[in-house]
A and B are shown apart, each in its own frame.
Chain A
Amino acid sequence: MNKMNQSGWKPGTPVAADDAAHHPTVTGNKALMLEERLIFELGTRETCGLDLPEPDTDAPSRLGKFARKQPIDLPGLSEPETVRHYTRLSRQNYAIDLGLFPLGSCTMKHNPRLNEKVARMPGFADVHPLQPVDTIKGALGVIDELSHWLIELTGMSAVAMSPKAGAHGELCGILCIRAALEARGDARKVVLVPESAHGTNPATAAFAGYEVEDIPAGKDGRVDLEALKARLGPDVAGVMITNPNTCGLFERDMKAISDAVHAAGGLVYCDGANFNAIMGRVRPGDLGVDAMHINLHKTFSTPHGGGGPGSGPVVLSAALAPFAPLPFITKDADSGEIHLIEEENVGDEFPGSFGRMTAFHGQMGMFTRALTYILSHGADGIRQASGDAVLNANYLLRSLDDVLDAPFGDAGHCMHEALFSDQGFAEGTSTLDLAKGLIDEGFHPMTMYFPLVVHGAMLVEPTETESKAALDQFTTAMRSLAERAKAGDETLKTAPHHAPRARLDEAQAARKPVLAWQGDKED
């Protein structure tokens, strides 16, 4: 199959001199830019890349009448072909390891390799979740130590470690709120969420059985405290506030918001996606927060892995701690002994716990990485990291706010991310065009069209692991792109021009979904 040469150029015929730089190749490859076919086009059902014993067809069976009769139709590749296939694929990805990855609210910071080494120690990697407790004391030790620092850094009372990612942590926190309210016989129906919130917030509240209502934002990009107070009442279970918020601003009134919600009988959920901006400097517990998830894959440097796995421990206030899900650990104050509490020994001592949110103990592989990160940075490094993250974002904000509209540029310093709008772009040129132009300049685009409260939003989060030189290069590229967007540069509208693919037809993908390989029907 070769659909890469669509120019009409006949292989073997001479290429015009002025076309040499752009002429097609027989293979579709362009030197180091290598095309790669699917495993279904490369492999066969008879190929295997591992040495396994040949099955004995007369071997005894205890499968009853359920032995497989139909083929699975899975191709295999030899080891060299497998390594080459995935290595070639990998080169079509952008990654933190390649350059600045300024996705707002995603905290794409460097992933330290020591974390990876530690997670692979046999004592962590090769341990079963249901081994007898005597054989997993180190695992419980990691959970205990990480829990301790998460609680200290947030000023909370307890932490539920098992949630598998940020949104799962949100769910855990909201369920704790619901369980606490139900325990006092106070069923409430509504959760208030600001319009600027990440989509997981309203989705989570709905998934937990709540109705969702918007909290209006003020002109300064922050929650409108008076409007919020006016909406509070006996039907409001709680609020979900992101702090620092998705406009990159610290919610100055957070304590007043919490006090008002508590006075009205509700509870406060804080989305901790942006905790990187304030770790070591502000403790959410001091601001009246009752529950907050922490994305270990953002703030605590565990890798994003192309979309997970994440890890979303939830710190809880004293009011919510009794409702934490199973399993959890307790520590004997005198002996220092750590106990694993699960179904078999939860007994009557923890009547509030609402049960499991996942099998086993959560993302142990992320706990070891996050603890390694915390110990590496130490108390001084953690504070320096949040400081540098905020410094880098403000530096970008002030390096670009003369060429790009910064809607809250006058609202004071930003936190870890800088927000811009598409105001001033030529008619017909969009935020998307600028973002795709950024790809040609060798950067990953920023978060686009989010938060929804800003037109054509561009949310830029550099993180603390970028050097000044990297920021300056990014700024130079952004300034050029901003000028081109204002001038309505036509070539920007078809960018990227230098990526492995031009713009992809997303409408076709959704209209006629092809979600599994269907065989090479077209050739």
Chain B
Amino acid sequence: MRYLPLTDIDRGAMLEKIGAPSVDALFDDVPSEHYLDGPVEGLALHASEMAVEKHMRRLSKQNVAAADAAFFCGAGAYRHHVPATVDHIIQRGEFLTAYTPYQPEIAQGTLQMLFEFQTQVARLYGCAVANASMYDGSTACWEAIVMAARLTKRHRILMSGGVHPHYVSVAQTMARFTPEHVDYDLPALDANPGDEALIARIDDETSCVVVQYPDIMGRIPDLQRIADAVHDKGALMIVVNTEPVALGALEAPGNLGADIVVGEGQSIGVGLQFGGPYLGLFAITNPKHVRQMPGRLCGETVDADGKRGFVLTLSTREQHIRREKATSNICTNSGLCALAFSVHMTLLGEKGLTALAAENHRLAILAADRLAKVPGVSVLNDTFFNEFTVVLDRETRPVVRDLAHNGVLAGVSLGRLFPGGDELENGLLVTVTETNTEDDIEALATALEEGLGAEEMA
């Protein structure tokens, strides 16, 4: 077995040193009636690299890879080009096979990277402090809600209809078991993101208002206006961003009144991977709140010789020190995805991120204008970045399934995201990134024309 270095001669010598007759004898604390005497049933014996690779390749071929289709899916997971450098760096064993940097003298590589990552995220979000990552956007969102409750001592959570429904679902799950209660209505199929209606629901009991920017239908809410109303009531403003590339074109949430900004960082450097592992981003605008933050934080210090160095810090917030009084139970986070994000962001820099955002926006406008010409299709949005909603003259789910059979992954149907959402069932969320060509856009438009036309005739 290629991963096991011991030989039978080694095992014999080691057992002799231990004074045990066999490896099985080392398990003599296990009651004999519960000790398995043979291998797991049904599982084949060990297999070569070649054999296992063949099996896994066969499974992988049963999926349609995005690269093999005209691809327009988004809704919180985005297909962007990941530079070759990113994957090379994250496969260096010194990063890939390191542990959480609890021994800073021999983990400065990871620690300096995390310090750079925190700074990049804080600047991207317009915040003062960012942590060293969370699991993903949806769990970061819940952690932000709990943090807000700690700060405000209130428990009413107002979530905008524009927040990703999976993020809402995570919050609703957790709220079932905690003092928090989530106030949430489905979004309307409307060009207006509904800021006024949201503002009208803020009251003196509200702990925080959660707004997604851009929202799940691609619309851009007026953060500053909402934030002013939130702060008038003594509540906190949480902004969720699922597409960090958008912040190369849009004003940073931290500059528009957000108190806590959380999001999904997958777009930069991580890749689709069927939904995980992804990268939760978490940042705050008021540094005084840092001791209420969840997750690991990396800070600058000096060593005994006066050299600059980095350590994990403020760990008295964390579970390994504070146990049941910790700000979160999070331990392992998304270190390697944070590295991928940071490498990609370093390659981009401000200039590259701005250019990438501009290219996404340009192609999205091109697509929106083209789809608007398809009979039976209208574009919902007045504002959007690289993702917008089109409304079909019928339920979109069957259309999306049909188009998939013809090599067009047309987007995410709102009916799948909002089951039971009636009018939303005719909505289709279309995402366009730099990976799309004008030919892809034409393929989507043509497929929709044919698909909708054929249905009408039938």
Q: A354 → chain B, closest Cβ, in Å?
A: 6
Q: Is the interface of A mostly helix, strand, loop or mixed?
A: loop
Contacting B at CB under 8 A, from A129-155, are 129-132, 134-139, 141-142, 145, 149, 152-153
Q: Is A503 an interface residue (CB 8 A)?
A: yes
A291 at the interface (CB under 8 A from B): no
Q: Mark B61-103, 1 if CB is under 8 A from A, else 0.
A: 1111111110101011101000101011111111111111101
Q: Does A371 contact B (CB under 8 A)?
A: yes
B113, CB-defined interface residue at 8 Å: yes
Whether B376 sits at the interface, judged by CB under 8 Å, is: no
Q: Shortest distance in angstroms between B66's beta carbon and chain A's nearest beta carbon? A: 5
Q: Is A317 an interface residue (CB 8 A)?
A: no
* CB-based contact B135/A515 at 8 Å: no
Closest to A148 in B: B42
A49, A73, A97, A278: which contacts B94 (Cβ < 8 A)? A97
Chain A CB within 10 A, most for which of B173, B352, B362: B173
A95 to B271, CA, bound (A): 25
For the complex, what is the distance from the CA of A121 to the CA of B158, rounded to whole Å? Answer: 41
The answer to whether A335 has its CB under 8 Å from any CB of chain B is: no
Q: Determine how close the nearest CB of chain B comes to the CB of A122; give it in whole angstroms.
A: 4
Stretch of A262-270, A388-396, A420-428 contacting B (4+ beta carbons < 8 Å): A388-396
Enumerate chain B residues within 8 angstroms of A59, measured Cβ to Cβ. Answer: 358, 361-362
Q: Are A297 and B332 in contact (CB under 8 A)?
A: yes
B188 interfacial by beta-carbon distance below 8 Å = no
In A204-247, the 8 Å CB interface with B consists of 204-209, 212
A residues 351-396 in Cβ contact with B at 8 Å: 354-366, 368, 371-372, 374-385, 387-388, 390-392, 394-395
Bound Cα distance from A44 to B356, whole angstroms = 17
Complex A-B: 28 CB contacts under 8 Å:
A3-B307, A3-B308, A47-B349, A49-B348, A52-B359, A77-B349, A83-B85, A123-B57, A128-B66, A132-B404, A137-B63, A138-B59, A152-B43, A199-B322, A203-B328, A206-B326, A255-B31, A280-B36, A309-B277, A309-B332, A376-B52, A383-B39, A394-B26, A444-B99, A450-B320, A505-B302, A515-B313, A516-B122
How many interface residues does A have (CB within 8 Å)? 214
Interface range for B: 35 or more
Q: Are A307 and B100 in contact (CB under 8 A)?
A: yes
By beta carbon, the residue of chain B nearest A411 is B29
- Determine whether B200 belongs to the interface, using a CB cutoff of 8 Å to chain A: no
Most buried by B among A60, A68, A103, A309: A309
Bound: A115/B16 CA distance, A:
35
The answer on a CB contact under 8 Å between A87 and B92 is yes
State whether the Cβ of B333 lies closer than 8 Å to any Cβ in chain A: yes
B77 touches A311 (CB 8 A): no
The segment from B227-235, B412-420, B437-445, B446-454 that touches chain A is B412-420
| Contact residues in A for B273 (Cβ distance below 8 Å) | 119, 124-125, 127, 364-365
Tell me whether A108 is interfacial, beta carbon within 8 Å: yes
**Which residues of chain B are near A47, meaning CB under 8 Å?**
349, 351
Chain A contacts for B133, CB-based, 8 A: 308
Residues in B with CB closer than 8 Å to A508 are 301-302
Give Cα A363 to B136, complex, Å.
10
Question: Chain A 302-314, CB within 8 Å of chain B: the 1/0 string?
Answer: 0111111111000
Stretch at the interface among A13-21, A164-172, A482-490: A164-172
Shortest B384–chain A CB gap in Å is 5
Q: How far is the CA of A118 from the CA of B51 in the complex (A)?
A: 12
Determine whether B197 belongs to the interface, using a CB cutoff of 8 Å to chain A. Answer: no
User: Distance (Å) between the CB of A23 and the closest chain B CB?
Assistant: 14
B455 within 8 A of A: no
A135–B352 touching, CB < 8 Å: no
A393 (CB) vs chain B CBs: closest residue: B26
Contact, CB under 8 Å: A376 / B46:
yes
Give Cα distance in the complex from A355 to B173, angstroms.
6
A49 touches B250 (CB 8 A): no
User: Residues of A contacting B313 with CB < 8 Å?
Assistant: 506, 509-510, 513, 515
Chain B residues with Cβ below 8 Å from A198 are 320, 331
A254 to B28, CA, bound (A): 14
Which residue in A50, A97, A178 is a CB contact (below 8 Å) of B93?
A: A97
Task: Give CA–CA (A61, B415) in the complex, Å.
Answer: 28
Which B residues, 248 to 276, have Cβ-Cβ distances below 8 Å to chain A?
A: 248-252, 255, 264, 271-276
